[in-house]
Amino acid sequence: MYLRVTMNTIARDKAGELRSVLNEMDEHRANNGYTPVEWLTGLTGRPEELISVQRYEKLADYEAALGKIANDSVYKALLGRLKECTVPGEGQIQLLKTY
């Protein structure tokens, strides 16, 4: 199994807008056959941190998902709106393999 984990910092005063964008993203993903995303925020430590986790059985599944997103203008627009709700330059993406 492979996990794609992203970590971003929620921009000040953007939590409400972020919630709306995440709901729209989840709906679009569900309606278009995308892998579900788990959205997480901290209860301790950094409560302004936004973490997303996606799970893929095979690396090829992850690669196919990237290709699908590249051709999805609606989803790319949602990603742009998500980016507007986070602090620039503080995000990171990790691709992890479980054992």
d(CA 98, CA 88): 29
Query: What pLDDT is attached to residue 94?
Result: 97
pLDDT over threshold 90, residue 11: yes
Instruction: Report the first-to-last Cα separation within the chain, whole angstroms.
Output: 8
Strands (DSSP E) contained in 2-89 are: 2-9, 38-41, 49-56
d(CA 68, CA 49): 27
Domain range 2-97, its CATH number among 3.40.630.30, 3.30.70.100, 3.40.50.720, 1.25.40.10: 3.30.70.100
Query: What pLDDT is attached to residue 46?
Result: 84
Q: Where are the domains of the chain?
A: 2-97
d(CA 62, CA 54): 9
pLDDT tens per residue across span 67-98: 999 999 999 999 999 999 999 988 899 999 99
pTM reported for the whole predicted model: 0.87
Percent of the chain with pLDDT over 70: 100
Amino acid identity of residue 39, one-letter, is W
